[in-house]
Amino acid sequence: MTVQDHAPHRIDDVATRPIPVVPAAADTADATAATGQPKPTLLDQMGGPMGFVYSTLPVVVFVTANAFLSLPLTIAIAVGSGLALTVFRTVRGEKLTAAAGSLAGVAVAAGVVAWTGSAKDFFLIGIWAAAAGFLVTFGSVLARRPLSGLVWNAVHGGTHDWRGDRTVLRAHDVATLAAAAVFGARFVVKEWLYLADSTTWLAITKVAMGTPLTVLAALVVVWAFRRSTKQLIDTPA
């Protein structure tokens, strides 16, 4: 077994993270007026800059450890880094359930690697979760019930005939297809690298196709949400 085969990788928590649902402009404006607090930005709702650090730092630790250590030691460092990150986030005031996500992801991924003996299997859950995300989002568009539209309607009481408005339906088709494109791209690229046993590039791809693509897809979802609110709620009948 080569040194590269020993590279453990953290579960692709950002890559598989659902596209965040961001309230429409009217809703956030009302919340701001009611609480007196400035409304959170899109980046804030996705965890802020530290959210990106939380998702990428473990990967850097894993790859670095793999370059010098054996698989068992690398797994131990992976779990240790997850534990340290959990403690750090808890000290910063985050809820334990949210902070423990880093540790849970590392622990599950390390368990997969320990069971199979292959470091690249650290990516298995993330790869297939991306495939599932693509099937759900793309399938919802084919069924003429785009997922972002279903979520928007549920958030706003579930009483709007959003599918009867062609402008709104088209906006949610675009938004859901954007999410499907992100999931599909992640699956295709990472599955190809997985089959090629390129664990180092899997780690690089995890970072490059994680938060950046999630932000892009989320911006399209925000646009669809605001367009729907303007068309069906703000505009008088």
User: What are 201's two structure tokens?
Assistant: 């590039």
- pLDDT, residue 33, reads 45
Weakest mean pLDDT among 37-41, 81-85, 199-203? 37-41
Q: Please compute the mean of the pLDDT values over residues 41-67 and round it to a whole number.
A: 69
Q: CA-to-CA distance for 206 and 213, rounded, in angstroms?
A: 11
What letter represents residue 185's amino acid? A
Per-residue pLDDT, 9 = 43
Confidence of residue 191 (pLDDT cuts 50, 70, 90): very high
Q: What is the pLDDT of residue 150?
A: 96
The confidence score (pLDDT) of residue 68 equals 86
Mean pLDDT of the chain: 81
CA atoms within 13 A on the CB side of 49: 0
Residue 17 has pLDDT above 70, yes or no: no
3-state SS assignment for residue 73: helix
**Sorting pLDDT into bands at 50, 70 and 90, what band is 67?**
confident
Mean pLDDT of 44-72: 73
Distances in Å between the alpha carbon of 234 and those of 6, 15, 24, 35, 220?
56, 34, 11, 22, 20
| 24: pLDDT strictly greater than 90 | no
Is the dihedral angle over the CA atoms 200, 5, 13, 134 positive or is it negative?
Answer: positive
pLDDT band at 192 (very low <50, low <70, confident <90, very high): very high
| pTM given for the model | 0.76
The first and second tokens of residue 191, run together, are 């599955």
The pair of structure tokens assigned to 1 is 């077994």
What's the whole-number mean pLDDT along residues 183-199?
A: 95
Does residue 148 register a pLDDT over 90?
yes
CA angle 221–201–49, rounded 5-degree value = 45
State the pLDDT confidence band at 118, using cuts at 50, 70 and 90: confident
Amino acid (one-letter) located at 209: M
**Confidence tier at 37 by pLDDT (50, 70, 90):** low
